[in-house]
Every structure is written in structure tokens, then in C-alpha cells.
């Protein structure tokens, strides 16, 4: 049968990706030892979804410094022990045919929070005790109205953080990852620099578009010095703050044009993350128009869409309509690691065409 669009291979910077389905980064809050070292949980989580057929498997927001963790339970890449623990995970994901990727992040003012666990209010800061620390942000402006123990970054902090991103990218390469994604979305540090809601600096890192985007542009330049030219470099962006005086889609498209010139191959377009109350649209594919704007506004950028895309038909339609080159499926993939195989079969692909692990060839999907 004809291949559904979700199964068409995709080439990013010369790297062949087997299909258009991406597992987006999702924090597991599973490092109980608070050492940022991934372990069996991370292996099975990412490994199962590689075997389940995703083209790119992106490991969760992984901190470039201890202070950059969203919570004390996050993974890191600020030391070699963490790198060495990631290596077998990346190797296994690659062995299953997916591109192993890692999202590098710094939470800024949204660090030192409670992990997203059942019955716990998401994103609530921890202000005291062993799992709390003072956080950093561009201007000491909290990212939400919850109490925060945050101070403005000095120029030395900024330079040190740029180095930390580059060091983490070097370790990601050494660990065998084929792609890194810089986390510039969801109200975390890079987004805090981009948005006028949280960036009131006057030292060249804040002010107009050029100045607010400088931190990210410096990160890209620093990462490119250590990240191999034949691997994939990506950025995840919040395409809009959904706030009148905040960061918006016009600035996102303008930035994407600059980043494609500066060596970024892939932009994953999400939204929001600053402020408390969500004012944006909702519903299936509500962020797809942001991805489409970046796709239409750039020349070579590989663009992925994300957000409440759950059925095979919805995902297929994003691709067929040309809104994006690839689609991330997050929460649905927590429920079902084999989503790509099932979606392929549902869209009419044969079992041979579906990205099925050969060990599971006797599996039955649906009434067997």
C-alpha cells in the first residue's frame, strides 16, 4: 500500500530519520538520588518508544547546571558520570532505529520546583529544605505569580551559562546522541530572555529583539563550536506567549530565519509558559498554526508541530497539509509506546511498512 505521510523518511542536515513521528521531551522526575544521573527508568522509557517506532526520541529537559534543573529529580549533563549513564540509553535508542536526541535546558526562575507527580500542584516552587535552591533569571523577574527565590543574572552568570550549554552539548555528543535540542520554550531560562515579560535587562541582553535574542544566538554559536557539523541541532520554541505585550509569532518567525542562517536545522514549535493563566487557544492541534507560520516563513528549517495531536488522522493531516515536516506526540505516547506502529497500521500501512520491532512481529493490533 501507499505509504502514509507519517511514514515518509525525513532528512535533517543529512541525517536520515525513518519517519515523521517524534517523541517530545518529557520530564520523568525519576532521579530519586538527586544526582541527575539517568538509570533504568529512563532506559526503559526511551527504549520502549524507540522500539515502538518513533523516528526521533528526545530525552527530557536535561539540565546544564544543577541550578538549571526544574526539580531536584531531573536528569543532567553537567558531569561525566551523567554522560556515561546516558551513553547506553542513546546507543539502544539508535539500535532500535530512532535518532537519539536530548533536550538541553536551564529552568531559570522556574527551577527548584516540586516534581509533576499525582496529587502535587504542578510547578509549585520549593523554597526551603534540601530540594530547594536560589534560582537565576535574566532580570530577577519571577516567571509566574507563585513565590520565587530568584535573582538577576550577572554578565558572569550569563557567560558561565553559555559555557555550561556548550559543555553539556559536548557531553551529549560523547554520549552518542545524534541530535540536541535547546529548550527555548515553556517559560524556562532561554524563553525568559526572549520575552519582554521577563527580560528587562539594559546590558545588551535585554531591550529590543536583537538584544533579547542575543543569549540564544550566543548559545547556538557556542554549541556549534563543539557539536559535530553532521549531527542535528534543534531549538524548541514557544511560538507565542499568548499575551499582547509578550513574545509573539512574528518575532518567532524572524528568529527562525536568523537561526537557520546560524546553523539550526530543526525548530519544534510549542507555546506559552510565562505567567499563570493560560489565555491561548485550546483543542486538537491548537499550536499547529504557529508551526505553519515558521514553516512558511523559513527556507530550509525542518519544522515540527506539537500539542494535542492524538489521532493518526490528525497527525497525518498536519503533514499532508504542509503545516509541518514532523509531529511530536507526547502524552498519548506515555499511555502507549507503540503509537507509531498502531497509527501506521490504522492509516493503511502494511505490517512490513510499519516501524515495528521484529521481536514483536506476532503482535496483534486490534481484534486479532
The catalytic residue positions are 188
Site for ligand FNR in 249-288 (CB under 6 A): 270
CA distances from 160 to 163, 166, 167, 208, 337 (A): 5, 10, 10, 23, 38
Long-range contacts from 27-32, C-beta under 8 angstroms, 24+ separation: 27/60, 27/61, 27/70, 27/71, 27/74, 27/115, 27/116, 28/60, 28/73, 28/75, 29/71, 29/73, 29/74, 29/115, 29/116, 29/117, 30/73, 31/72, 31/73, 31/74, 31/75, 32/73
Residue whose C-alpha cell reads 506526540 in the numeric block: 329
The yes or no reply on residue 115 touching ligand FNR (CB under 6 A) is: no
Distance (Å, whole) CA 67 – CA 44: 27
Draw the binding track, 299-338, toward ligand FNR (x: CB under 6 A; -: no contact): -------xxxx-------------------xxxx------
In angstroms, give the least distance from the CB of 107 to ligand FNR.
Answer: 10
In angstroms, give the least distance from the CB of 311 to ligand FNR.
Answer: 11
DSSP summary character for residue 76: B
Q: Which is nearer to ligand FNR, 49 or 183 (CB)?
A: 183
Of these, 7, 31, 56, 61, which contacts ligand FNR (CB under 6 A)?
Answer: 61
Q: Which is nearer to ligand FNR, 229 or 335 (CB)?
A: 335
How many residues touch ligand FNR (CB under 6 A)?
21
Of these, 49, 83, 183, 292, which contacts ligand FNR (CB under 6 A)?
Answer: 183
Cell of residue 95, nine digits: 539500535
* 3-state secondary structure (DSSP) of residue 50: helix
In angstroms, give the least distance from the CB of 208 to ligand FNR.
Answer: 26
Query: Nearest-CB residue to ligand FNR?
Result: 330
Of these, 60, 218, 241, 342, which contacts ligand FNR (CB under 6 A)?
Answer: 60
Of these, 85, 185, 291, 293, which contacts ligand FNR (CB under 6 A)?
Answer: 185
The yes or no reply on residue 180 touching ligand FNR (CB under 6 A) is: no
Residue whose C-alpha cell reads 515540527 in the numeric block: 304
Determine how β-strand 150-152 pairs with β-strand 179-184.
unpaired
Draw the binding track, 223-242, toward ligand FNR (x: CB under 6 A; -: no contact): -------------x------
* 3-state secondary structure (DSSP) of residue 84: helix
In angstroms, give the least distance from the CB of 364 to ligand FNR.
Answer: 26
Of these, 67, 110, 186, 212, which contacts ligand FNR (CB under 6 A)?
Answer: 186
Site for ligand FNR in 18-57 (CB under 6 A): 24-27
Which segments within 212-325 are labelled E, that is strand?
232-238, 266-270, 302-305
- The candidate with the shortest Cα–Cα distance to 26, out of 170, 136, 181, 163, is 181
Name the strand (E) or helix (H) holding 112: none
In angstroms, give the least distance from the CB of 329 to ligand FNR.
Answer: 5
Helix axis angle, 249-261 relative to 214-226, nearest 10°?
30
Determine how β-strand 150-152 pairs with β-strand 135-137.
parallel
Name the strand (E) or helix (H) holding 350: none
Q: Which is nearer to ligand FNR, 146 or 332 (CB)?
A: 332
Site for ligand FNR in 126-165 (CB under 6 A): none
In angstroms, give the least distance from the CB of 310 to ligand FNR.
Answer: 7
The yes or no reply on residue 79 touching ligand FNR (CB under 6 A) is: no
- The candidate with the shortest Cα–Cα distance to 98, out of 205, 194, 158, 10, is 10
DSSP summary character for residue 284: T
In angstroms, give the least distance from the CB of 309 to ligand FNR.
Answer: 6
Binding site for ligand FNR (CB under 6 A): 24-27, 60-61, 103, 116, 183, 185-186, 236, 270, 306-309, 329-332
Amino acid at each position: 500500500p501507499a505509504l502514509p505521510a507519517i511514514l515518509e523518511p525525513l532528512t535533517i542536515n543529512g541525517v536520515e530519520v525513518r519517519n515523521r513521528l517524534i517523541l517530545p521531551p518529557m520530564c520523568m522526575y525519576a532521579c530519586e538520588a538527586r544526582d541527575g544521573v539517568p538509570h533504568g527508568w529512563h532506559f526503559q522509557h526511551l527504549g520502549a518508544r524507540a522500539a515502538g517506532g518513533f523516528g526521533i526520541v528526545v530525552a527530557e529537559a536535561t539540565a546544564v547546571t544543577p541550578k538549571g534543573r526544574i526539580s531536584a529529580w531531573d536528569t543532567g549533563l553537567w558531569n561525566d558520570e551523567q554522560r556515561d549513564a546516558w551513553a547506553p540509553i542513546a546507543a539502544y535508542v539508535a539500535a532500535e532505529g530512532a535518532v537519539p536526541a536530548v533536550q538541553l535546558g536551564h529552568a531559570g526562575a522556574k527551577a527548584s520546583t516540586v516534581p509533576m507527580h499525582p496529587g502535587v500542584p504542578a510547578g509549585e516552587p520549593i523554597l526551603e529544605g534540601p530540594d530547594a535552591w536560589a534560582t537565576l533569571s535574566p532580570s530577577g523577574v519571577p516567571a509566574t505569580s507563585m513565590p520565587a527565590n530568584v535573582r538577576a543574572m550577572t554578565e558572569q552568570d550569563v557567560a558561565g551559562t553559555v559555557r555550561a550549554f556548550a559543555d553539556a552539548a559536548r557531553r551529549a555528543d560523547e554520549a552518542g546522541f545524534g541530535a540536541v535540542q535547546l529548550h527555548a520554550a515553556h517559560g524556562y531560562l532561554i524563553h525568559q530572555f526572549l520575552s519582554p515579560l521577563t527580560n528587562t535587562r539594559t546590558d545588551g541582553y535585554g531591550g529590543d529583539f536583537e538584544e533579547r535574542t542575543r543569549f540564544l544566538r550566543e548559545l547556538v554559536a557556542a554549541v556549534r563550536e563543539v557539536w559535530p557539523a553532521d549531527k542535528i541541532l534543534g531549538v524548541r520554541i514557544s511560538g507565542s506567549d499568548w499575551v499582547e505585550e509578550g513574545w509573539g509569532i512574528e518575532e518567532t518567525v524572524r528568529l527562525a530565519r536568523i537561526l537557520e542562517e546560524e546553523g539550526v536545522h530543526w525548530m519544534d514549535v510549542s507555546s506559552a509558559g510565562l505567567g499563570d493563566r493560560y489565555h491561548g487557544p485550546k483543542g486538537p492541534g491548537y499550536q499547529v498554526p504557529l508551526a505553519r507560520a515558521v514553516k512558511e516563513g523559513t527556507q530550509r528549517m525542518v519544522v515540527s508541530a506539537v500539542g494535542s495531536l492524538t489521532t493518526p488522522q490528525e497527525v497525518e493531516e498536519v503533514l499532508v497539509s504542509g503545516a509541518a515536516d514532523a509531529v511530536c506526540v507526547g502524552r498519548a505516547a506515555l499511555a502507549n509506546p507503540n503509537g507509531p506502529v498502531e497509527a501506521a497500521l490504522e492509516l493503511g500501512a502494511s505490517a512490513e511498512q510499519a516501524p515495528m520491532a521484529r521481536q514483536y512481529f506476532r503482535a496483534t493490533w486490534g481484534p486479532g
